[in-house]
Amino acid sequence: MQQPNTAVGLERKDQFVLRFPESNMRKEIKARAAMNERSMNAELIYLIKRGQAEEQKKSAAA
């Protein structure tokens, strides 16, 4: 069995296909990422983590 072509020492990351519900949402995230000097991926991860933190705050307050 052949091993997949991967660079030595690099960890494989989980991937997820995201479909934007609105065509302008991608543009907005791209602009936000550029403003924050991040990739779109990094911006999406930031927003997800921020949303998770807000949900945890709400749960703790309840």
Q: Which residues contact 38 (CB under 8 A, 6 or more apart)?
A: 46
pLDDT score for 48: 96
Question: In angstroms, rounded to a whole number, what is the distance separating the alpha carbons of residues 1 and 25?
Answer: 42
pLDDT of 1 > 60? The answer is: no
Query: Residue 62, Cα to own-chain centre: how many angstroms?
Result: 28
Do you know the residue count of the chain?
Answer: 62
Per-residue pLDDT tens over the stretch 16-31: 999 988 879 999 999 9
pLDDT score for 43: 96
